[in-house]
Structure 1
Amino acid sequence: IIVEDAKELAFAQGLELVEDQVLVDEVSGLVEWPVVMMGSFEKEFLVIPDEVIRATIRNNQKCFVVRDPKTGKLTNKFVLTANIEAPDGGKTIVAGNERVIRPRLSDAKFFYETDLKTKLEDRLPKFEQIVFHEKLGTQAERIKRIEALAAEIAPLVGADVEKTKR
Structure 2
Amino acid sequence: MHLADRLTDALPWLAGLSRGVLCRAISNAGIDAAAWTAGDLVSCMDKLSADEGRRFALPPKLSNPAGFFIHRIRTAMTHARMTGWERPSARAKTQAAQTRALAAAEPRPALPRETAAELHEARAAFRAQFAADDRLHELQQAARARLSEAKRAEVMAELDRARNRTARVL
Bin of the TM-score, shorter chain as denominator length: under 0.3
Query: Larger Cα Rg: Structure 1 or Structure 2?
Result: 2
Give TM-score, length-normalised by structure 1: 0.28
Q: Point out the structure with the larger helix share.
A: 2
Give TM-score, length-normalised by structure 2: 0.27
